Amino acid sequence: MPDISLLSPRQTFEDNMRPAHLLLRVYRLLDSNDSIASDGDMVTKLRTVVQATEDEEVLLIYNELFLGLVRERADIKRSHLLKRSLGHLLRQAIVASATALETFLPALLRAHMPTIVRVRKRDILPPGDSSIQEYFKDLTFTLVDTLRLLDDPLAPGYITEKMLGYINHNYLSSRKGIHLAGAILGITKPWDEIANHLRRDKKELIETLEYTVDRRNDIVHRADRTKQDPTGEQQEITYVQTQHAIDTINHVCLALDELVAQRVAELRQVIEAQLIETET
């Protein structure tokens, strides 16, 4: 198994997104539009192939992607394979994609913040961004912390760990999390740049991502019932709706990763220029 610490933020994100994509694919395999057969010519022929007796209950799932025979010992009932039950696969895909977002943003910050701190120093928090100032308002450095930073070449790493420790206790996700991570990492207007990078409408991107995160909370905390009606019926969910939600998180995070990589490369050139100037 590879060392997690050696994985790039993008690799970490893609590893955590893989279950979401897998759940979508499994749903497509099992989706038979509720046409599940337990008798008929094809079932009779497959009984012979698998040597199932006439009294063994079998269920045939058949669509353009998959042909599957579920035998009695699997203890799976017809109701388990209907759309209303398969919808749970889609719900868990939503949860997995939102989790991937939550793990990606701290990984991105951990990978690149030392460079940002080293170059931008006291300007690491954009002075004109009140939302970031508000987010970090309770982050404090003790006198011991401050003295430790004096003439310490490892100060950027220490400041990064201090900020990441604070972030880990203050829930970083949704549109605000994307904005905060991007702004700290040198992207002036993160959502504008992401939308431009993807050639997508900014409002639609934000609304879809917010919907996905909110839906994840409904699923995890209320079994996919709304906050307004926590004892009501489960919300409807469809394959295409879920795919759109997952794809949006995927595209937004990968776009942010590319934008940050470009910005950090520019800042590293600044560092190299400073070192050359110091040496001469």
Per-residue pLDDT reduced to its tens digit, 21-46? 999 999 999 998 878 888 899 999 99
Better pLDDT: 139 or 204: 204
Per-residue pLDDT reduced to its tens digit, 194-229? 999 999 999 999 999 999 999 999 999 999 999 999
The model's pTM is 0.84
Per-residue pLDDT reduced to its tens digit, 84-125? 899 999 999 999 999 999 999 989 998 998 888 877 776 777
Compute the mean pLDDT over every residue in the chain, rounded to the nearest whole number: 88
Tokens of 64: 């353009």
Better pLDDT: 34 or 237: 237
Q: Kindly write down the DSSP assignment for every residue of 265-276, as one continuous string.
A: HHHHHHHHHHHH
Domains of the chain, by residue range, sit at 89-279
What share of the chain in percent tops pLDDT 90? Answer: 54
Write down the pLDDT at residue 86.
93
Write down the pLDDT at residue 2.
47
From CA 35, how far away is CA 33, in angstroms rounded? 5
Tokens of 43: 């079932």
Better pLDDT: 156 or 59: 59
Q: Which of 3-17, 78-92, 140-154, 216-230 shows the lowest mean pLDDT across its residues?
A: 140-154
Better pLDDT: 3 or 191: 191
From CA 130, how far away is CA 140, in angstroms rounded? 17
Kindly tell me if the per-residue pLDDT of 1 is higher than 50.
no
Banded model confidence at residue 145, pLDDT cuts 50, 70, 90: confident
Kindly tell me if the per-residue pLDDT of 70 is higher than 50.
yes
All residues at 6 or more sequence positions from 12 whose CB lies less than 8 Å from its CB, including other chains: 4, 103, 104, 107
From CA 207, how far away is CA 100, in angstroms rounded? 18
DSSP tag of 68: E
Tokens of 54: 């006439």
Write down the pLDDT at residue 32.
83
Q: Kindly write down the DSSP assignment for every residue of 138-201, as one continuous string.
A: T----HHHHHHHTT-TTHHHHHHHHHHHHHHTS---HHHHHHHHHHHTT-SSHHHHHHHHHT--
Kindly tell me if the per-residue pLDDT of 151 is higher than 80.
no
Kindly tell me if the per-residue pLDDT of 279 is higher than 70.
no
Residue pair 132/184 in contact (Cβ under 8 Å)? The answer is: yes
Kindly tell me if the per-residue pLDDT of 49 is higher than 50.
yes
Better pLDDT: 274 or 163: 163
Better pLDDT: 54 or 91: 91
Average pLDDT over residues 136-140: 84
Write down the pLDDT at residue 149.
78
- Provide the terminal-to-terminal Cα distance of the chain, rounded to the nearest Å: 45
Write down the pLDDT at residue 206.
97
